[in-house]
Amino acid sequence: MSEDSGKRQDSQRGISRRNFLGTMGAGTLGVAVSGRAAPAQGAVAVASDGTQPVTLRINGRRVDLRVEPRWTLLDVLRDHLELVGTKLGCARGECGACTVLVDGQAQYACMTLALEAEGHEITTVEGLMHGEELGAVQQAFVEEDAFQCGYCTPGQVVAAEGLLRGNPNPDLAEIQEGMSGNLCRCGAYDHIFKAVRRAAQLKQLGTG
């Protein structure tokens, strides 16, 4: 069994990788340095012009593909899996249009190598839908008109989802801080704040 499939099993058992590693973290340093504690079979080596098979978990689905070392998670989502809801804005972690959830936390897909996404649960804006129905955050964004051109919107929606998962009832200042990693050049911030508050209500009502 490879290390990667082991991680998948962990997440299937409901133990997140983060927690798993957290519990393993303390006091193991000496062992690791002095001996070869970690199994070598987990090792991966890919040449710059080669590709590596990876298994990603995206929106609850398993995806197998081969990636180059330099491909980012954003490259893979948009160019190889056609999940274009995750937007390309700057490709340098400066706009937030590519925000996805990694194990439930908002991160920029452009700053994550696809190889490094392995073993984590990735959620994109498409993954917030319930079939054809909008999720609570999406519904709230429509109700509050929390967008103009709409290009930053999927990233905003996913960031809001990440914020509310960590803090289901944020106050206005927490919303402002929580949504501060997503640029909106149209300047729909005010309505975005309202939408996040509305989304918190919808989630608490169990709607969407």
Partner 1 sequence: MKHYLPDPDQIPGEAQPQELPPWGETRVVGRSLSRVDGYELVSGTAVYTLDLTLPDMLHAVIVRCPHAHARVVRVETSRAEAMPGVRAVLTASTPGAEIPWYFGDDGPTSRLFDSHCRYAGEEVAAVAAETVHQAWDAARAIEVEYEVLPFVIDEAEALEADAPAVHEGGNLTEQREFARGDVEAAFAEADVVLGGTFRTPCELHAPLETFVSVARWDGDRLTVWDSTQGVFARQQELARYFRLPLTSVRVICPYVGGGFGAKLSTGKYTVIAALAARMTARPVKLAVTREDSFLSEGNRPANTIRLKAAAMRDGTLTALEGEFLGSVGAYPSGAVSPYLLLALYDCANARAATTEVYTNAGRARAFRAPAFPPCAWALEQTIDALAEEIGMDPVEFRLKNLATVLQLRDDLPYTSIGLRECIIEGAREFGWESARSRPQQDGHLRRGVGMAAGMWAYPGEPRATVFVKLFADGSVNLNMGASDIGTGTKTVMAMVVAEELGVPLEQIQIEHADTGTTQYAPASGGSQTVVVSSPAVRAAAVDVKGQLLEIAAAELERPAEGLVLRDGQVVPIDDEGAAVPLAELRGLRQRQNIVGVGRRHPHPEGKIALPFCAQFADVEVNTLTGEVRVARLLAAHDSGRVMSYLTYENQVFGGMAMGIGFGLTEDRVLDSQTGKMVNHNWHDYKIPTAKDVPLEQTCVPIDPHDTECNTTGAKGLGEPAHIPTAAAIANAVYHATGVRVHDAPITAMQMVRLLAETRGD
Partner 2 sequence: MLPQFDYVRPGSLSEAIEHGATDGAILHAGGIDLLGCLRDGVFTADKLVAIAHLAELRGIDETRDGGLRIGALTTLSEIAAHPLIGERYTVLSQGAGSAASPQLRNQGTIAGNLCQRPRCWYFRGDFHCLRKGGSMCYAVAGANQYHCIFGGDRCYIVHPSDTAPALVALDARVRIVGPSGQRVVPLDSFFVPPGQDIRRETILEPGDLVVEVLLPPPGMGLRSVYRKVRARGVWDFALAGAAAALTISDGRVTGGRLVLSGVAPIPWRAAEAERALAGSRLDAETIRRAAQACVADARPMTHNGYKVDLVRGVVEETLRSLA
Q: Does 38 bind partner 2 (CB under 8 A)?
A: yes
Neighbouring residues of 126: CB distance < 8 A, sequence distance ≥ 6: 59, 83, 85
Q: Does 85 bind partner 1 (CB under 8 A)?
A: yes
Task: Please identify which residue in 96, 127, 154, 170 interacts with partner 2, judged by CB under 8 A.
Answer: 96
What would the x/- binding string for partner 1 be over residues 104 to 133, using CB under 8 A?
A: --------------------xxx--x----
Binding residues for partner 2, rule CB under 8 A, total 56
Q: In angstroms, what is the minimal distance from the CB of 182 to partner 2?
A: 8
Q: In angstroms, what is the minimal distance from the CB of 113 to partner 2?
A: 7
Q: What distance in Å separates the CA atoms of residue 158 and residue 78, rounded to the nearest whole number? A: 16
Is there a contact between 134 and 144 (Cβ–Cβ < 8 Å)?
Answer: no
Q: Quick one: which of 165, 155, 183 has its CA closest to 77?
A: 155
Task: Please identify which residue in 2, 5, 9, 180 interacts with partner 2, judged by CB under 8 A.
Answer: 180
Q: Does 11 bind partner 2 (CB under 8 A)?
A: no
Phi-psi region of 82 (alpha: psi -120 to 50; beta: other; left: phi over 0): left
Q: Does 57 bind partner 1 (CB under 8 A)?
A: no
CB nearer to partner 2: pick between 90 and 142: 90
Neighbouring residues of 82: CB distance < 8 A, sequence distance ≥ 6: none
Q: What distance in Å separates the CA atoms of residue 138 and residue 145, rounded to the nearest whole number? A: 11
Partner in contact with 120, chosen from partner 2, partner 1, none, beta carbon below 5 to 8 Å by kind = none
Q: Does 184 bind partner 2 (CB under 8 A)?
A: no
Q: Quick one: which of 158, 157, 155 has its CA closest to 89?
A: 155
Residue type for 178, please?
A: G
Per-residue DSSP letter, 135: P
Please report which helix (H) or strand (E) contains residue 154, including its range.
helix 153-166
CB nearer to partner 2: pick between 75 and 144: 75
| Residues that bind partner 1 in the complex, under the rule CB under 8 A | 68, 70-71, 78-79, 82-92, 94-95, 97, 124-126, 129, 134, 137-139, 141-143, 145, 147-154, 157, 172-173, 176-177, 179-180, 182-193
